[in-house]
A and B are shown apart, each in its own frame.
Chain A
Amino acid sequence: MDFLNLLAQLAAGMGNTLLLFALTLVFSLPLGLLVTFGRMSTWAPFKNLGIKKEKERRLSGAAILADGDESLTQQMTRIERSHWSWLLAHLRRFKPVQFIFKVIIAILRGTPLMLQLLVVFFGPYYIFGVSLSASYRFIAVVLGFSINYAAYFAEIYRSGIESIPVGQREAAQVLGYSKAQTFLKIILPQMVKRVLPPVTNEVITLVKDTSLAFVLVYTEMFTLAKQIAAARTSVMPLFVAGVFYFIFNAVVAVVMERVEKSLSYYS
């Protein structure tokens, strides 16, 4: 009787945990793909900066060397030029979009999720002075989780994409597939198969990470279990919580195994 009562009390928390879990996946799985695109961007706007001048310079440089001895001023300008060309070489290789996404991913993976949740919730107020409605608390939780998990998924996707032999892309290109067709028909399906095991890992971690939502006073199940445990001075609620996470993850594992199996028709 008491046990059923406990379950009933925890049920609301379980619902919240499931909701947070589901919404996080719904947003972070596709968002991760966008982050991957940013991270893999090869856009280099300064690629051709000063290429023409460089060529002319190389020609005149050859002339100096041919002359044999160069004057001091010639040497000075040559050294100056070599510094300048060092800078140019770096600037040409600079990929701004990729750089920005590298930094974003590093921050999201390098700082605690709990801290990120606090930033998402309090940031708008402290930075912009915007005061937000009560419902923003829930939005902030989902937003924080989705962004954080998108960063992890993005890196998993990227490794999946990079592990596909270049020959696949080249074969598609020779056959005349557009870039979009190549990605959607050739790369993406193979990527999905390759990333399933690491994605499963992240999803299992997410099940357990949902308990971090307590920092924004989101009453997910573990928060509730702790409160009840304190009120009843019993470890029973915590034990039930543990069993809940375990069963939840067992279901996740079974589902993911099914998906993996459904893609095992080729290797």
Chain B
Amino acid sequence: MNVLKMTNVKKSFGDLEVLKDISVSVDKGEVVSIIGPSGSGKSTLLRCATLLEQMDSGELWYMGEKAAGNDEEGHTVYPRDLNQFRRCFGLVFQNFNLFPHYTVLKNLTDAPVSVLKRNPAEVKDEAMALLRKMGLEDKADAYPCQLSGGQQQRVSIVRALAMKPEILFFDEPTSALDPELTGEVLKVIKQLAEEKMTMVIVTHEMAFARAVSDRVIFMDGGVIVEQGRPEEVFGDTQQERTKQFLRNYQN
């Protein structure tokens, strides 16, 4: 069963067509990387998948259930209550978006307690366990502003994990970090991949994408130019646009 399925997604901002008929699906345990030049619609695709942006046309499915579908004229309609679907996914932002007025621990526990209505003590134990796993247990009572960028991003990954999502989306998780801090974040994502967490990662870290992904999607101009196993896309792509993009990246 697909954890995520998006079919024939179209999205425009005014006259600018950003997504032109995109279809993707992600299987359980699969790690999919999305690469492509900036402005190609990668973030918009993730924002449509995470319900931050409404599609103009197309369908969205989570765990085999339709979260949004087309009306008879082909315009996407959303149900009134999307919370059931919001529980399926987590999103890690480029600039973390941790809640600055909450401690690290409160950042992790607040949503499970006040949204999922789970037992606070239990949630706290789980959150501490996750922090320990990340080597951040001594930061539980710190505020986000007291952490380095890499630590903040790792906390925001834990915040998403604490909701126990079926699938985790990353939008350029290391782009806001100094080069020496990207490693610690990529290591965490790699670890999650080994644990068979279903993930969709928009990234410019080509070596990382190649190492960690089961599948790589190359997007350009609002379409999926090609997708395949990393060695196919990075190794011997037949697509001129992909070649050109990757060439620019090697320099």
Contacts and interface: CB of A to CB of B under 8 A. Distances in A.
A176 B115 contact: yes
Given A189-B101, A265-B143, A266-B143, A174 B115 contact: no
Interface residues of A, number: 20
Contacts of B52: 170, 173-174
B176 to A, nearest CB: 11
Given A176-B87, A177-B114, A167 B143 contact: no
Interface in A177-199: 177, 181, 185-186, 189-190, 193
B95 A177 contact: no
B115 A165 contact: no
Given A167-B95, A170-B97, A193-B101, A176 B111 contact: yes
Contacts of A186: 99
Interface residues on B, range: 20 to 34
Contacts of B87: 176
Given A265-B143, A266-B143, A266-B145, A176 B116 contact: yes
A168 B114 contact: no
Main secondary structure of the interface of B (DSSP, over half): loop
A193 B51 CA distance: 30
B144 to A, nearest CB: 7
Contact of B145 (A176, A185, A267): A267
A192 to B, nearest CB: 9
Given A181-B114, A185-B114, A174 B91 contact: yes
Main secondary structure of the interface of A (DSSP, over half): helix
A171 B99 contact: yes
Given A167-B97, A266-B100, A175 B111 contact: yes
Contact of B97 (A168, A185, A189, A265): A168
Given A167-B95, A190-B100, A266-B101, A175 B115 contact: yes
B124 to A, nearest CB: 17
Interface string B67-96: 000000000000000010011011101010
Contacts of A265: 143
Interface of B: 50-52, 83, 86-87, 89-91, 93, 95, 97-101, 110-111, 114-116, 143-145, 159, 163
Interface of A: 165, 167-168, 170-177, 181, 185-186, 189-190, 193, 265-267
29 contacts: A165-B95, A167-B93, A167-B97, A168-B97, A168-B99, A170-B52, A170-B97, A171-B93, A171-B97, A171-B98, A172-B99, A173-B51, A173-B86, A174-B50, A174-B86, A174-B90, A175-B159, A175-B163, A176-B83, A176-B116, A177-B115, A181-B115, A186-B99, A189-B101, A190-B100, A193-B101, A265-B143, A266-B144, A267-B100
